[in-house]
Amino acid sequence: MQAPRTRDRKSKPESLDLLAIAAHPDDVELTCGGTLIKMVEAGYRVGVLDLTGGESGTRGSVALRQRESERASKVMGIVHRENLGLPDAGVESRRDFKLKIAQCIRALQPRTVILPHWEGRHPDHYIAGQIGYEACFLAGLAKLPLEGAPHRPHKIIYASLYVPTLLPTFVVDITDQFEKKLKAVLCYASQFSPRRDWRNLFPSRAECRERLAAQARHFGDMIGVRYGEPFVTREIAAVDDLVNMPVRSV
Ligand SMILES: [Zn+2]
């Protein structure tokens, strides 16, 4: 493990360096769990905000998924996790939902926020990306009915693993974090079948490992490492040093 970096934040010490927001418990583990673990290992304060309790899922009660989520948080080593209690399968672009998220952003003061990509199959996922973005903006407005000081994250990054056809803006090497990511995902035991049957709606643990490894390998290949997680940014990165660009060698 790397030595913790010195945090150069001027804000209060309990503020987060990185906050990942997602629709359902286990989304964060699946889409960017390896990256969160890597940032924890680098010494950053990392937190997660789940928008719903996943109560519409076919398997597992909310209480059970809550316990699973706590176990996964311990595996990842994050310092904060909370669930906003929005309705599962009912994440909508509503002002009260945006203000709830904005209130959390003010309280946690994250420097960087990871959101789900704004496209996708499941409406909860892409709407979480949309209202998450608007909440980050609202959190910085002084004249809103919110507690705490205005705060706007420095950077918003979109986790794009659920939309595998998208070309990522960058990929994070999670080769050293992959086994821990898998362990965190497998904490959600209610979502896995004890049977080894790929036709089952719920994959077995062996099937889960194979899928996660195949996905991570696909994106890892893009940067010449074993395992990777993909991200998209809306803004173009500024480059100063052409001699030492962090890219795959030819
Ligand atoms: Zn989900």
Q: What's the N-to-C CA distance of the chain in angstroms?
A: 29
Which of 29-38, 132-141, 189-198 is the least confident region?
A: 189-198
Query: How far does the centroid of ligand 1 lie from the alpha carbon of residue 89, in Å?
Result: 9
Is the pLDDT reported for residue 200 higher than 60?
Answer: no
- Residues having C-beta closer than 5 Å to ion ligand 1: 23-24, 27
pTM for this prediction: 0.91
**pLDDT band at 2, cuts 50/70/90?**
very low
Q: What is the pLDDT of residues 14-36, one digit of tens each?
A: 899 999 999 999 999 999 999 99
Query: How far does the centroid of ligand 1 lie from the alpha carbon of residue 125, in Å?
Result: 6
Give the other-Cβ count within 10 Å of 234's Cβ.
Answer: 10
Bigger pLDDT: 187 or 11? Answer: 187
Region 145-160 average pLDDT = 96
CA 41 to chain centre: 16
As given in the structure block, the two tokens for residue 189 are 């035991």
CA angle 86, 54, 171 (to 5 degrees): 95
Is the pLDDT reported for residue 104 higher than 80?
Answer: yes
- pLDDT at residue number 204: 81
Is the pLDDT reported for residue 4 higher than 50?
Answer: no
Query: How far does the centroid of ligand 1 lie from the alpha carbon of residue 59, in Å?
Result: 13
Bigger pLDDT: 31 or 245? Answer: 31
